[in-house]
Every structure is written in C-alpha cells, then in structure tokens.
C-alpha cells in the first residue's frame, strides 16, 4: 500500500543535443523531449517555466525577460546552469508521484568527451538531485541497446548518429578497441539544408524548417523513380527582405546533404583503417550497425555501403538504442561496471 510513495525511480538518460530521452527500469521509456529549456528572469532570480516540447515552441518567439536555451552543443554541455535546470525538470517530471529519495542516474556521453566535459555532465546530474551518477559512452550504450555481442572475441562496430555528434566505436571482448566522435551529425545536416537554400535560392530559413525538410523528404541517395516528392519551403527572400517560397526537388536535398554525409563516411573509413585487420574482417562479415536519429535518414545505409564497401544494418528502433542500452547497463550494473567511464 502506498508503494508509490517510496524511493524515487532510478533512471537512464540519453542527454542529447537535440532530444533528451529517459528510461526507467521496469517501465521502459518514460520521457522523450527536445533538449530545450525556457528560463524567465525574475529580478536576480531565474525560474524554469518550460522544458522540452513546450519550450521548443517558444524558440525565437519569447519576450526579452524569457530566454529559450539549448544547453547542449555537439553532444556536450555548453550552458551548465541551463543543463542542470533542464535535467532537474525532467527528473521531477518522471518522479512526480514519488515523494522521497533521490534516484541513481546513468547518463551517456560522446565517446570523445573530455574529462572536463564528463565532469560537467556528472556534476549537473548530482546538482539536479541524483543520489549517484554513472557515465557510459554513447556508442557503447548503442551497441548494448542494439544487442551486439560485445563480450565475444570478435569485432563489433557501431555508428551512432545523434543531433550534435556521430560516435563511432569498435568493441571486442567487453572492451572498446577504437572510439571517435565527429562533430557532424543531424544538426549539421539541418545546417547544410539551410546553407543550400541560402546560397542556391537566396532564401533564408531556420534550422527547425530545415529539420522538417530532412525528415519529410531527405534522402542520402537521390532517387530517379519519383518516390520522393518535391517539398515547398517558406522563408525570407535575402535580396528583397520579403516572405518567399521555393520548391526543393529530391535531388537538391540529396545534394545539400552530401558534405555532412561525406564527413561521416570519412570517419568510418578512418576507423576501419585504424583497427587490427582481424577485427576489420569480423566487421566486414557481420556488418556495421547504425543507431541514433540520424540512422532514420532514408537510404543512409545504402549510401554508406556504396562508399565503404561494408554492409550496414539499422538497429531496431535506432532512435532509442542508446537510452535502451544505457537502461540495460543500469539494470545490470554489477555486470556492466567495466564498461562505464569515469567522470
């Protein structure tokens, strides 16, 4: 009776540049919101008035006393106070019916996060009310969530394409053999579409509109069979300053995405060249797994296979592979302790 009044729920957090996803053992994914927080200045004090979806709708539309902040940039904390408040807001939302205790929290970080960046995440979690904070590398969490046999004596490779970073890792026998983060991922794809509209069509658009284009009509391979339709795009004419509208064809969107995709290809090629040839042979046999929201870009697996000659597989529910793996590591903390990283 009244068990819900007991200790707060432990939770795994995928603290992403674009979205924050929270997983609670025994309950699954309980929160998936944009990594945005709205803060109101009240004299010398600040108060969080919204976070997640509600705060995202306020971007660019707030009065001067209210600031909308995206606390993470390129996968790491850029605004510590805003990040702390956002994590606190989400923890309270998840634990709203639990009145006592503080949760243990596991948070994933980019593979190449520096010790300073890792400490910032660790301290933000503690300041937000966590009893204990554990850290795990994003690609390792993605591999666990995708069900890869990382404990076996064979090479497994995962490419996690998030909003701010693309994390590449090769694992074998429970150890990370190779890891690298690229500051090219979903946000860079959005920016590429913004730049294409600006320089090719003299139309100024915002990143949110570019993200819609990417999700609705984006493809890593330009199709000739008409399965992708053109998309109408509204913005401001840069020459006249008036509202304007253009039509982007599917070939144009694929062209716009070429540079960020090639940068990801370069990172994958480098990883394959740097690991021992025995592991490369394992990877060629089993394929490379794609996780993260960027894996949902249409035909990205096809494009990467064309560029590298290695088979690519999209993980089941790639958008949540990382948080699911983080949650599994939290549930089996004793077994997974050697895979965690120090703040």
Range of the domain at 269: 154-184+259-316
Residue 287 lies in a domain: yes
| 91/23 same-domain check | yes
CATH assignment at residue 170: 3.30.420.40
| 22/122 same-domain check | yes
| 298/248 same-domain check | no
Number of domains making up the chain = 3
Task: Tell me the whole-structure pTM to 2 decimals.
Answer: 0.86
Q: Please state at what angle helix 207-217 crosses helix 186-201, rounded to 10 degrees.
A: 100
| 87/18 same-domain check | yes
Residue 211 lies in a domain: yes
Residue 40 lies in a domain: no
Residue 57 lies in a domain: no
| 17/95 same-domain check | yes
Q: Which of 211, 230, 258 is the last residue of a domain?
A: 258
| 88/16 same-domain check | yes
Cβ(325)–Cβ(145) under 8 Å? yes
Confidence (pLDDT) at 1: 35
Pairing of strands 312-314, 288-291: parallel
Residue 283 lies in a domain: yes
Residue 59 lies in a domain: no
Read off φ and ψ for residue 26, nearest 5 degrees: 85, -15
First to last CA, the chain: 39
| 246/191 same-domain check | yes
Cβ(23)–Cβ(31) under 8 Å? no
| 296/237 same-domain check | no
Distance CA 191, CA 230 (A): 19
Cβ(159)–Cβ(166) under 8 Å? yes
CATH assignment at residue 251: 3.90.640.10
| 250/267 same-domain check | no
Task: Show the tokens assigned to 289.
Answer: 């797994």
Residue 241 lies in a domain: yes
Residue 66 lies in a domain: no
Report how far apart, in Å, the C-alpha atoms of 255 and of each of 7, 104, 166, 202, 259 are: 52, 45, 20, 16, 8
Q: Which of 228, 243, 258 is the last residue of a domain?
A: 258
| 221/93 same-domain check | no
Q: Which of 240, 258, 276 is the last residue of a domain?
A: 258
| 249/196 same-domain check | yes
| 210/113 same-domain check | no
Q: Over its length of 343 residues, how does the chain's per-residue pLDDT go in tens digits?
A: 333 334 467 899 998 888 999 999 888 999 999 999 998 888 778 888 888 999 988 877 888 888 898 998 887 888 888 888 888 888 888 877 554 468 899 999 888 888 988 998 899 888 888 889 999 998 999 999 999 998 999 999 999 999 889 999 999 998 889 999 999 999 999 999 999 999 999 999 988 889 988 988 888 987 655 555 678 888 898 888 888 988 888 788 889 999 999 999 999 999 999 999 999 999 999 999 999 999 999 999 999 999 999 999 999 999 999 999 999 999 999 888 888 998 8
């Amino acid at each position: 009776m009244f068990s819900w009044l007991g200790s707060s729920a432990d939770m795994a957090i995928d603290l992403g540049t674009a979205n924050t996803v929270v997983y609670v053992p025994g309950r699954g994914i309980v929160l998936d919101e944009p990594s945005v927080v709205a803060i109101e200045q009240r004299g010398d004090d600040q108060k969080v008035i919204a976070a997640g979806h509600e705060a995202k709708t306020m971007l660019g539309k707030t009065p001067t006393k209210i600031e909308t902040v995206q606390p993470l940039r390129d996968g790491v904390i850029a605004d510590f106070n805003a990040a702390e408040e956002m994590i606190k807001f989400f923890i309270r939302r998840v634990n709203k019916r639990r009145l006592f205790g503080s949760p243990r929290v596991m948070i994933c970080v980019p593979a190449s996060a520096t010790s300073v960046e890792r400490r910032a995440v660790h301290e933000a979690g503690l300041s937000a009310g966590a009893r204990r904070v554990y850290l795990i590398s994003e690609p390792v969490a993605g591999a666990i969530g995708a069900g890869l046999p990382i404990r076996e004596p064979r090479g497994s490779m995962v490419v996690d394409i998030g909003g701010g970073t693309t994390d590449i890792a090769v694992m074998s026998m429970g150890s990370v053999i190779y890891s690298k983060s690229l500051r090219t991922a979903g946000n860079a794809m959005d920016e590429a579409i913004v730049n294409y509209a600006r320089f090719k069509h003299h139309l100024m658009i915002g990143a949110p509109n570019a993200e819609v284009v990417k999700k609705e009509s984006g493809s890593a391979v330009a199709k000739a069979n008409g399965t992708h339709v053109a998309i109408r795009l509204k913005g401001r004419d840069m020459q006249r300053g008036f509202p304007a509208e253009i039509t982007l064809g599917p070939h144009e969107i694929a062209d716009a995405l070429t540079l960020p995709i090639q940068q990801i290809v370069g990172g994958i090629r480098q990883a394959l060249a740097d690991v021992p040839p025995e592991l490369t042979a394992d990877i060629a046999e089993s394929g490379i797994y794609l996780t993260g929201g960027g894996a949902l870009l249409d035909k990205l697996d096809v494009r990467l296979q064309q560029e590298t000659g290695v088979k690519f597989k999209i993980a089941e529910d790639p958008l949540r592979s990382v948080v699911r793996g983080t949650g599994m590591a939290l549930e089996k903390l004793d077994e997974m302790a050697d895979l965690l990283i120090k703040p």
